[in-house]
Amino acid sequence: MHNNQIESEMKKISNPFLIGKYVSPDYFCDRQKETEELINAFKNGRNVTLMSNRRIGKTGLIQNTIYHLKKENSTLLIYIDLLYTNNLKEFNTAFAKAVLGKVDNKITSLIKGFVNVVKSLKPIITVDAQTGIPEIGIEHFEGGDPQLSTEEIFDYLGKQDKLILIAFDEFQQITNYPEKNVEALLRSKTQFLNNCCFIFSGSQKHVITEMFNSPKRPFFQSTQLMFLDKIDEEKYSIFIKSNFSKNKKKIEPAAVERIFEISLRFTYYVQFLCNKLYGSGSKHIKKDDVDAELEQIINDNEQLYSAIINLLSTQQLKLLIAIALEKGIAMPTSGAFIKKHSLNAASSVKTALTTLINKEILVSENNKYFVYDMFFSYFLRKKYKF
C-alpha cells in the first residue's frame, strides 16, 4: 500500500482498534523486536518459520514487516494466505495473483513478462461486479499440470532482478492437499532461488513443528524457527489507554485488566473487546462496561455456539464443558479431573481431547488445554455453571 493510499485509508478509520486488518504502525501494538528480527533475517538471506496459535497476531506482524520493507524500492514483497486453498491448483491461483499484485499502470507489462515464463496460466483483468474495481484473475488451461504451474511461477520469480520476500501464511494447509509430494516440490523450488527469502507462517503448531523439525520431511532444519508469543501486558495496556485518551476517552486500569483476563491477551479478543468498547459511545469505560459488552457478545453468538455444541458427541461436550469451567487444565486425563467432572475413562477422555484439538475447538499453550474461542468459553461457563 502506497503512502497516499495509507493516508486515505487512515482518514476513513474512526476506531483505532482494528480487527483482521493492517493499515500502518499507528494502529499496531509493539512487535518491534519481532519485526526487526524478520527484517534482519530477510536482509541476511535466512528463511523463517513463524509459529503461533491463531489470533495471536502473526499475520499482522508479517504485514508490519512488509510495511517497513516497502521503503526499499529494490525489494519485491509478496504475501499469500493459504488458509482457504484446498489443492495445488488453488495454491497456484493464490500465488500467481499475489505475484502480479494489484492492477495499476504497470500491469500490462507485468502480465506480459509473467506469461512469457508461466505459460500454463492465463492472467486476466476482471472487474468486481459490486465495487467496479479492476482485479487480477487467473485462468488455468484445461488439462494443465498444477505442478508445472507451480514450477513456472517460481522460475518467473527467480528471473527477477530484485530481492524478494515471500510470505506463505497458514503454510500447514499444504499438508491437506490431495496431491502427493507438495512439500518436496516446494522445498525443491524454494531452496535454489538466490534472490528470494521466505516466511513460512502457521498456526497449527504441531503440524508446522513436524514439517520443519522431522528428519523425514523435506523442509527439515531449512529455516530459522520463530515462535510468536503474546504482546507484553504492560505495552498492550499503554497502547489501549493511549488510543482511548487520544479521542478524549478514558478506560480505567481495572477495565483493561478485565479485558486481559477475558482474552488471555490473545490479540484478536483484546482488539475485539476494545473495538466494541471504544465504539459504545461512552467516554469513561469501567470494568462493569467490559462485562456488559462480553454479555452482549455472548448473546449475539448464542446460535453459533449452540450449533457447535450440537455437532459434538456427549463425551466431547462433557470434556469441553469441564475444561471451560476450569478455565483451562494441564492434565485432562488425570484421575482427579475425571472424578471431579464425572468423565469416562482416561482413554475416552484422550480420544475426545484429540478430536476437539483437531477441530480447533481446544488449543494447547504452555502445556495447558483451554477453549480456543475465549467468548465461547464464557458462554459454556454461563450455560453449564453449577
Q: What is the pLDDT along the chain (386 residues), one digit of tens a residue?
A: 444 554 455 556 789 999 988 999 999 999 999 999 999 999 999 999 999 988 999 999 999 999 999 987 778 999 999 999 999 999 999 999 999 986 566 777 888 899 999 999 999 988 877 888 888 999 999 888 999 999 999 999 999 999 999 999 999 999 999 999 999 999 999 999 999 999 999 998 889 999 999 999 999 999 999 999 999 999 999 999 999 999 899 999 999 999 999 999 999 999 999 999 999 989 999 999 999 999 999 999 999 999 999 999 999 999 999 999 999 999 999 999 999 999 999 999 999 999 999 898 998 877 899 999 999 999 999 998 75
Burial string for 358-380 (b: 16+ CB within 10 Å, else e) reads: eeebbbbbeeebbbbbbbbbbbb
Contacts of 358 by beta carbon, 8 Å cutoff, 6+ apart: none
Residues 164/170/176/182 CA torsion (nearest 10 deg): 10
Q: In angstroms, rounded to a whole number, what is the distance separating the alpha carbons of residues 305 and 380?
A: 9
The answer to whether 249 touches 275, Cβ cutoff 8 Å, is no
Residues 171/175/180/186 CA torsion (nearest 10 deg): 20
Residue appearing with cell numbers 482413554: 347
Q: What is the pLDDT of residues 256-266, one digit of tens each?
A: 999 999 999 99
Q: Report pLDDT for 386.
A: 54
The answer to whether 95 touches 88, Cβ cutoff 8 Å, is no
Q: In angstroms, rounded to a whole number, what is the distance separating the alpha carbons of residues 180 and 249?
A: 55
Nearest residue to 278 (alpha-carbon basis) of 1, 17, 97, 3: 17
Q: In angstroms, rounded to a whole number, what is the distance separating the alpha carbons of residues 273 and 189?
A: 43
Q: What is the pLDDT of residues 63-74, one digit of tens each?
A: 999 999 998 777
Cβ count near 339 (within 10 Å): 9
Q: Report pLDDT for 1.
A: 44
Q: Is 211 exposed, middle or buried (0-12, 13-18, 19+ CB in 10 A)?
A: buried
Q: In angstroms, rounded to a whole number, what is the distance separating the alpha carbons of residues 323 and 365?
A: 14
The answer to whether 191 touches 159, Cβ cutoff 8 Å, is no
Q: In angstroms, rounded to a whole number, what is the distance separating the alpha carbons of residues 78 and 97?
A: 10
In angstroms, how far is CA 245 from the centroid of its own chain?
A: 29
Nearest residue to 153 (alpha-carbon basis) of 143, 174, 138: 138
Q: Report pLDDT for 34.
A: 97
Q: In angstroms, rounded to a whole number, what is the distance separating the alpha carbons of residues 240 and 338?
A: 40
pTM (2 d.p.): 0.89
Domains and CATH numbers, the chain: 31-227 (3.40.50.300), 233-300 (1.10.8), 302-383 (1.10.10.10)
